[in-house]
Amino acid sequence: METIKGRTYGKSELADMYSISVRTLTRWLQPYQSQLTQIGYKHTCRTLNPKIVTFIFSVLGEPETDRN
């Protein structure tokens, strides 16, 4: 599997990688709100820095990259 960590993603781009809506992604992240806030996440931000993306991948798992 190709590595997809280490870059900034938009919320919609990340949601597309999981084949879900941005609203669903936001719901999936609600249980981790305190940890995300500690690393700089705000629910109103549209872009997610590499530190936040790495955390999301650690709790949700990395999305499949072999999509055709």
Q: What SS3 class is residue 49?
A: coil
What residue numbers bound the domain in which 41 lies?
9-60
Q: Is residue 28 part of a domain?
A: yes
Would you call 62 exposed, middle or buried from its count of C-beta atoms within 10 A (0-12, 13-18, 19+)?
A: middle
Give the mean pLDDT of the chain. 89
Half-sphere exposure of 54 (CA within 13 A, CB side): 8
CA pseudo-torsion sign 9, 61, 56, 18: positive
- The pLDDT of 10-14, averaged and rounded, is 96
Number of domains in the chain: 1
Cβ atoms of 21 and 15 closer than 8 Å:
yes
Is residue 3 situated within a structural domain?
A: no
Q: What is the pTM of this model?
A: 0.83
